[in-house]
Amino acid sequence: MSAHPDTATSPDEGHYNFAYLDEQTKRMIRRAILKGIAVPGYQVPFASREMPMPYGWGTGGVQVTAAILGADDTLKVIDQGSDDTTNAVSIRGFFEKTAGVETTTRTSEASIIQTRHRIPEALLTEDQVLVYQVPIPEPLRFLEPRETETRKMHALAEYGLMHVKLYEDIARNGHIATTYAYPVEVNDRYVMDPSPTPKFDNPKMHEMAALQLFGAGREKRIYAIPPHTKVKSLDFDDHPFEVQKFEKPCGLCGAENVYLDEVILDDKGGRMFVCSDSDHCEDRRSHGHLGEMAADPAASHLASTGEERA
Amino acid sequence: MTDQTTMLEPNFVPYQENDEPLLRVSGVTRYYGDRLGCTDISFNLWPGEVLAIVGESGSGKTTLLNCLSTRLAPTAGAIEYRMRDGSMRDLYQLTEADRRLLMRTDWGFVHQSPADGLRMTVSAGANVGERLMAVGNRHYGNIRATATDWLERVEIATDRIDDPPRAFSGGMRQRLQIARNLVTHPRLVFMDEPTGGLDVSVQARLLDMMRRLVADLGLSVIIVTHDLAVARLLSHRIMVMRHGKVIETGLTDQVLDDPREPYSQLLVSSILQA
């Protein structure tokens, strides 16, 4: 994010330019980012580059990260909240190799967090940037296939159609059954797809201190939510927006009010629910919080009390 | 009509001041390159009036209808519409935002093929409710109540409200399309061959229903059809088109019973057997 010296000079043969992309490309992407920040929620077209990874693996997010990365940044990459899945590990490795930046799994230590489909549980600060990988940036796409028409609808703020989708949800399921990619209205103007994050994370976007950037590589769009911006999840007066609720706390760290993943343990129906944010879970456990399924002597004690409570 | 729809249009008054036309069309001409679509069409449409545009295939009926409904800009000529505040505005001077608002509130457009006018992938209720949501209605219960009410009015069983139009017969689809258009209480409805492709008994029922709705709501309608029986049943006034020009115009009964132009005579004698 801060100036990095000597990156504009041509690198030796056999070396990558800082953060893989050439300087002109990064300038182009930064211009798109600035425009996105100036018009919160508006999808800015940009000349997305071919990246050394397949579409769907975060080519948009990687380009945004490459454009804003500085030599003194610390990068964290998560995939579904987890630091140790293939996508997260390979993107982290990619920037270690091409930019030589520090990487971390600790949310609080990162200055840039690239994410696929989660927002960290820990509160983000004004010093941090959250970069989302977006597969389909257009929230109206599945209702209106014509790009010319959706652009016009955004331009004229004609968003009635978005509610048609929510209406269908209620008509079919009795409640708004959209659980991810839940449409939001940014800064009282643009309706935006928050990428396929669970709707559990939508309230975190509202007035977030960190800058949020969204990159869609295949669809060639960048959009942004500046810090401390109003983000409202769409709903009906008689069917207000609600986030998912979990019956049990995290099996490993006992955290409540966090987003949990279901983990199948065996083929006899055994399962556990654990924090989707692996760093948050580890951090809590290192501070002595233990869930009822954690492999610790103290856990058996907690498990029994847990059963009594249940 | 439910509370919700009345709330939606607080100033809605069925036509009362008949001293001014609702739509004033002067010299509308449309060329497709060198080819002529329609030329020099002028007429006034009054509140509560049903005007049928008839003529053979390729006579410029649909071109004219598309020009009038702002779907196709005319090459020359002006179309003025009396807005709800009473002012006459040139449609092509309005901003696109205003035109689109007009299209989905004060106007309706019934396509020949229901698939063009409906969202085939969402339920009947959502199809009817879409316009309500587009004008800011955000109460699910009210939207659904209004949709139910409108399904009843167009004689669709209300237990079909959650079925997609794909599961409907052709006649039901066309009735659903009409309900979807009328839910915001438009003052002007364009219809392009609304009975095309339906069998005769379904046509009769649809026409019956349309006639009732038009009378109940005091709608102004411009209906394009090649079926003179439809024109006879629905319209007050008729315009006969040929080669992009209006060749005869007058009261429906007058034109159909006593056509003046040779072409109109041909048309009447060829189609109207009964």
Interface test with A, best of B138, B148, B158, B160 (most A CBs within 10 A): B138
Using DSSP's 3-state secondary structure scheme, residue B28 falls into: strand
**What is the layout of strands, in order, in the sheet containing A44-45?**
A44-45, A221-225, A211-216, A129-133, A112-116, A74-79, A102-103
Q: How confident is the model at residue B201 (pLDDT cuts 50, 70, 90)?
A: confident
How many contacts does A have with B, using Cβ atoms within 8 A? 56
Q: Answer whether residue B176 shows pLDDT above 80.
A: yes
For residue A157, the chain B residue with the least C-alpha distance is B97
Q: Give residues 59 to 118 of B whose Cβ lies within 8 Å of A.
A: 96-97, 100
Count Cα neighbours of A66 within 13 Å in the Cβ-side half-sphere: 32
Cβ within 8 Å of residue A103, ≥6 positions away: A74, A75, A76, A77, A92, A95, A96
Predicted pLDDT of residue B174: 93
Q: Which of A156, A160, A170 sits opposite B133 (nearest CB)?
A: A160
CA quadruple A192, A195, A200, A206: dihedral sign: negative
Chain B CB within 8 Å of residue A143 CB: yes
pLDDT tens digits for A7-28?
A: 544 556 678 899 999 999 999 9
Tokens linked to B5: 């729809």
With a CB cutoff of 8 Å and minimum separation 6, the contacts of A161 are A140, A143, A144, A153, B130, B133, B134
Q: Enumerate the residues of chain B whose CB falls inside 8 A of the CB of residue A161.
A: 130, 133-134
Closest residue in chain B to residue A235, using alpha carbons only = B138
A275-296 mean pLDDT:
87
Chain A environment of B100 (Cβ under 8 Å): 156, 158
- The residue that leads in pLDDT, B2 or B228, is B228
What is the pLDDT confidence band of residue B196, given thresholds at 50, 70 and 90?
Answer: confident
Cβ contacts of B129 on chain A, cutoff 8 Å: 164, 167
Kindly state the tokens that stand for B151: 């399904």
Cα A144 to Cα A60: distance, rounded to the nearest angstrom: 23
- Whether the per-residue pLDDT at B12 is higher than 60: the answer is no
- Kindly list the distances between the CA atom of residue B251 and the CA atoms of A228, B62, B222, B232, in Å, as whole numbers in the listed order: 65, 21, 14, 10
Q: Which residues contact A41 (CB under 8 A, 6 or more apart)?
A: A184, A185, A186, A187, A189, A190, A191, A192, A223, A224, A225
Per-residue pLDDT reduced to its tens digit, A59-118: 999 999 999 999 999 999 999 999 999 999 999 999 999 999 999 999 999 999 999 999
Closest CA–CA distance from residue B154 to any residue of chain A (Å): 20
- The per-residue pLDDT for range B35-47, each reduced to its tens digit, is 999 999 999 999 9
Domains of chain A as residue ranges with CATH = 23-139+181-230 (3.40.50.11310), 148-178 (no CATH), 245-296 (no CATH)
Looking at residue B227, its pLDDT comes to 86
Residue A250 is among the residues annotated as catalytic for this protein: yes
> Residue B113 pLDDT more than 60?
yes
As a whole number of angstroms, the distance between CA B168 and CA A55 comes to 40
- Write phi, then psi, for A239 (nearest 5 degrees): -135, 75
pLDDT at B198: 85
The bridge status of strand B50-55 relative to strand B237-242 is parallel
Average pLDDT over all residues of chain A? 90
| Residue A281: active-site member | yes
Average pLDDT of every residue of chain B: 89
CA–CA separation, B196 vs B210, rounded Å?
14
What is the predicted pLDDT for the residue at A4?
A: 53
Per-residue model confidence as pLDDT tens digits over A29-41: 999 999 999 999 9
B-contacting residues in A 224-253 (Cβ below 8 Å): 235-239
The chain A residue lying nearest B99, using CA atoms, is: A156
**Least confident segment among A150-164, A281-295, B111-125:** A281-295
CB neighbours of residue A155 within 10 Å: 12
What is the reported pLDDT for B4?
44
Task: Give the minimum alpha-carbon distance from A218 to chain B in angstroms, rounded to a whole number.
Answer: 26
Our answer to whether residue A288 is catalytic in this structure is: no
Q: Could you give the 3-state DSSP secondary structure of residue B112? A: coil
The answer to whether the Cβ–Cβ distance between A161 and B162 falls below 8 Å is no
Residue of A nearest to B119 (CA): A143
pLDDT at position B8 is 44
Residue of A61, A215, A251, A275 with catalytic role: A275
Would you say the ipTM is above 0.90? no
A156 interfaces chain B, CB cutoff of 8 Å: yes
In a 3-state reduction of DSSP, which class is residue A162?
helix
Percent share of chain A, pLDDT over 70: 91
Residue B138: list chain A partners with CB under 8 A. Answer: 163, 235-237
The distance of A158 to chain B (nearest Cα, Å) reads 7
**pLDDT recorded at residue A143:** 87
What pLDDT shows up at residue B14?
A: 46
Convert the pLDDT of each residue in A187-202 to its tens digit: 999 999 999 999 999 9
Query: What does the pLDDT read at residue B271?
Result: 64
How high is the pLDDT of residue B15? Answer: 46
The pLDDT of residue A245 is above 80: yes
Question: Mean pLDDT over residues A137-165, rounded?
Answer: 93
Q: Report the top-level CATH class of B19-27+36-114+187-269.
A: alpha beta
Q: Is the pLDDT of residue A213 over 90?
A: yes
Nearest residue to B136 via CA among B110, B104, B168: B104
CA–CA min distance B96, chain A (Å): 9
Nearest to B140 among A143, A152, A170 (CB): A170
Please indicate whether, in this complex, the C-beta atoms of A171 and B123 are within 8 angstroms of each other.
Answer: yes
In which band, very low, low, confident or very high, does the pLDDT at A305 lie, cut at 50, 70 and 90? very low
Q: Is the pLDDT of residue A259 over 60?
A: yes
Q: Is the pLDDT of residue B18 over 60?
A: no
B186 in Cβ contact with B107 (< 8 Å): yes
CA nearest A133: which of A217, A234, A26? A217
**Nearest CA of chain B to the CA of A215: how many Å?**
29
